[in-house]
Structure 1
């Protein structure tokens, strides 16, 4: 499930100047559809009707393309049970999150019905999934857009869905990947788009989590780390004690301010929140292991919430 290489943005625009509409259009015309949201996601969800509640929570319109936005919910939403939100594919190129969410639904979700209320959105950004992109069609990062006003349409649609469950969600696990293409394509693209100089970084070799700096929950993060390291290696800090430029506050854990950055993991106000980061390009792991790591993360999060009694 590795992503194919994508083109460099370096030739778009004038170095040092932020992109305008013409540059964004030039970027969009270079994007190629590599895979099918309908084949990979919608056809996987359709057979779940009857077992679970399948919801269409909106439609993403991208030029002539229209994408129905689907969520899957536990078949009975029981008042008084803790609720858990699982999201994948906020960054469409991060394949393991999408397929991890789908595999959890297919193989594990039924065992949690009646024990916890769960809501799973396997692919938040369908256009980005098909084009293997971090950004949406407008060269906007959905995972910096979970705020009002001016949200990316993918983000706005998810916020509208989640708003109906306000006060009912105890946990949210947002499934992501960190890939080599972050360093070779997406961070250079971000620098070019914003008229900044690109500063090279490094990619952690292994799984890690991002906790909310405003609401740290170390026991929740530790439960996920413990489960995942049975499946795939946990990332070690670099020589500065950091992962991806942030201090490692616990084994395999860093902190971001979810709210100020407009991150998906900050939309619920839930007590327990985290962003997973698997590394499918690692020589120590396979993309299949990364999908399994995402499933293990979801299961660990649900088990933790159940053990805490909500």
Structure 2
């Protein structure tokens, strides 16, 4: 029985993509939803309660996208800063809408206690195409470093730079989906000329802590808050989640700075990346959004109590 995975339809196995392969990949990407109507319109409705700013602009051919951020209206220099990012991978829907739900339903409870800075959709081109990469086949969430190859990442770094050392907390809202295994990991292997090694998708919510500063009690406070809303991913038979050792229930670790991940953009003592699983038969889109919002609330509550 042949169990070899089907070669990715673009490129030659073992050979990294060049310009022709990237152009072919781009030609296959189609707009499937609207950033303007689904995200920007929601942000505009929040303008009466928060300060809204355009912190950059993406231009991909004839497609242009304003990069939008929302700040606390009662911003005070003596308050700690909380950074919330979503949609670094545009296809991870609840990262975008969970962040917006937090703003709409919960953010005003923190008025006068923290300064909130929220970038709910870091990658709007990819949001519209339900994709992980930007239009140049670059993953923004491996590009948060000097001379970033992704304008999405560079724009966030410019936005955050004045606040980098004042941040108390950064929570970056993500999802792990079945398409990670069916499309995005095979595409990555093909792009880089490497063999695709099939894996498994974790069934449930989990967190990615910083290897250099894991803050285990902080991570568990978030797991506890999310569990009533959606189930927590168990470790697999190897004691791992998505190829990384489970260090505590529902928690793995990555070296954030080394990998150029979004959660590395501040020196905040409290950092985490959420991973919601939207493809479970046990989860609805509403639960996924609510889980993201609950994670943000729990993270802020813990950080304020232990600052």
TM range (shorter): over 0.9
Q: Distance in 2 between matches of 1:261 and 1:46?
A: 34
Q: Distance in 2 between matches of 1:240 and 1:170?
A: 34
Superposed CA deviations along residues 156-185 of structure 1, whole A, max 9, x for unmatched, are 000000002122111100000000000000
* 1:88-103 correspondence runs (5 A): 88-103=86-101
Identify which of 12, 15, 30 aligns with 1:14.
Answer: 12
Task: Look up the match of 1:30.
Answer: 28
Identify which of 136, 147, 150 aligns with 2:148.
Answer: 150
Kept in 1: contact 2:235–2:246 (CA 8 A): yes
User: What is the TM-score when the length of structure 1 is the normalising length?
Assistant: 0.96
Q: Distance in 2 between matches of 1:286 and 1:253?
A: 22
User: Which stretches in structure 1 are left out of the alignment for 5+ residues?
Assistant: 1-7
Task: Look up the match of 1:120.
Answer: 118
* 1:1-310 correspondence runs (5 A): 10-308=8-306, 310=307
Q: Distance in 2 between matches of 1:184 and 1:249?
A: 27
Tell me how far 1:50 sits from its aligned partner: 2.7
Tell me how far 1:26 sits from its aligned partner: 0.4
The list of structure 1 runs, each at least 4 consecutive aligned residues, that deviate by more than 6 angstroms after superposition, is none
Farther-moved stretch of structure 1 (77-86 vs 218-227)? 77-86
- For residue 144 of structure 2, give the secondary structure of its aligned residue in structure 1: coil
Tell me how far 1:151 sits from its aligned partner: 2.9
Kept in 2: contact 1:82–1:305 (CA 8 A): no
- For residue 282 of structure 1, give the secondary structure of its aligned residue in structure 2: coil
Q: Distance in 1 between matches of 2:73 and 2:217?
A: 29
Kept in 2: contact 1:69–1:124 (CA 8 A): yes
Superposed CA deviations along residues 82-125 of structure 1, whole A, max 9, x for unmatched, are 11100000000000100001111111111111111111110000
Kept in 1: contact 2:210–2:254 (CA 8 A): yes
Tell me how far 1:9 sits from its aligned partner: 8.0
Q: Distance in 2 between matches of 1:196 and 1:9?
A: 11
Kept in 1: contact 2:57–2:64 (CA 8 A): yes
Kept in 1: contact 2:164–2:265 (CA 8 A): no
Task: Look up the match of 1:5.
Answer: none
C-alpha RMSD over aligned residues: 1.1
Superposed CA deviations along residues 110-146 of structure 1, whole A, max 9, x for unmatched, are 1111111111110000000000000000000000000
User: What is the TM-score when the length of structure 2 is the normalising length?
Assistant: 0.96
Tell me how far 1:80 sits from its aligned partner: 2.2
Tell me how far 1:79 sits from its aligned partner: 2.1
- For residue 164 of structure 1, give the secondary structure of its aligned residue in structure 2: helix
Q: Distance in 2 between matches of 1:59 and 1:90?
A: 15
Farther-moved stretch of structure 1 (78-87 vs 139-148)? 78-87
Kept in 2: contact 1:172–1:270 (CA 8 A): yes
Gap change, CA 1:64 and 1:9, over 3 Å in 2:
farther
- For residue 12 of structure 1, give the secondary structure of its aligned residue in structure 2: coil
